[in-house]
Structures are given as structure tokens and as C-alpha cells.
Structure 1
Amino acid sequence: MIRIIAVSLLFIPGILAAYGIKLMRDALFHEFNPIFFHAGIQFFIGIVLLVGGIWFIGGFLVHRDKKKNLIQKKHKRTD
């Protein structure tokens, strides 16, 4: 059950990141989505979705590796 929740937590940001790539591609080729009224805004929203999705997935993986003590010694904080 826990694995299903973890996969769904990674699936949703992955879909958002893929949609962000699609928005950026459409803005470059001047195919506008009806909810955006300018190509620059559509491209900016696409970048935000892409970076947010990658950031969430990366943070999830780093948190999991820290919990399992898989982080190398040079990347650990010494507080």
C-alpha cells in the first residue's frame, strides 16, 4: 500500500512536468492554449511546471536516500 502511495506521489508531479514541456513547445511554435492570452505567459507557466515537477521528484528521492542512509559522506551536512 505504501508503494502505491509513493508511486502516485511521483506520478502527479511527473505529469505536471510533462505538461509544462508541452506548454513550452506549443508557445515556441505559436500554438496557444485558450486559457493563456500571450505566448510569454504560456512559456513561463510551462517553465514553472517543469521546474516544480523536477524539484519535487528530486527532493523526494534525496529525502528517501537520506532516510535509508545512502547519501555519500561528502554530500551530508555537518550541522
Structure 2
Amino acid sequence: MARMAAFIVLLIPGLMAAAGIKFMRDTLFSNLLFPFPWLWLQFIVGIIFFLAGFGFFAGFLLHRDRKKGKVAARWQKKTVPSVEERKEV
């Protein structure tokens, strides 16, 4: 059941990124879609949809790989010293 929920959580941003690519492609071919009054607005919305969907997907993968310890040292989360450790210094 958890895998199905994770699939659905990743499916929504994936569809959003695909819609963003479609909006940008239609703008390049001068095909204005219904909810948009101008081509430039359609292209901007396409960029926003693509970046939001792709960013969510990439962040999800980075979070998962950090938990499993499968990322390079460059991408590891830096630990912040606790209050007690800072007082000792």
C-alpha cells in the first residue's frame, strides 16, 4: 500500500511536468490553448509547471537516496552541532 501511495505522489508532479512541456511545445508551434489569452503567458505557465514537477521529483529522489546513504559526500546533509556541543567550544 505504501508503494502505491508513493507512486501516486510521484505521478501528479510527473503529469504536471509533462503538461508544462506540452504548453511550451504548443507555444513554439503557435498553438494557443483555451485557458491562455496570450502565447507568452502559456509559455511562462509551461516553464513553471515543468520546473515545479521536475523539482519535486528530483527532491523526492534526493531525500530518498540521502536516507539510504547512496549520495556523494557533496550532497550529504550537514549536521548542525547541538546547543551543548557549541557551549563546550
User: TM-score scaled by structure 1?
Assistant: 0.92
- The match for 2:28 is 28
CA distance in 1, matches of 2:63, 2:15: 21
Which protein, 1 or 2, shows the higher relative CO under an 8 Å CA cutoff with sep ≥ 6?
1
Q: How does 1:56-75 map to 2 (within 5 A)?
A: 56-75=56-75
From the CA coordinates, give the structure whose radius of gyration is larger: 2
Aligned alpha-carbon RMSD (Å): 1.1
Segments of 4+ moved more than 4 angstroms: none
User: How many positions carry a matched residue from both structures?
Assistant: 79
How much does 1:68 deviate? 1.3
C-alpha distance after superposition, 1:16-50 (max 9, x if no partner): 10011110111111111111000000000000000
User: TM-score scaled by structure 2?
Assistant: 0.83
- Structure 1 gaps, min length 5: none
How much does 1:77 deviate? 3.6
- Asked if 1:11 is matched to 2:33, the reply is no
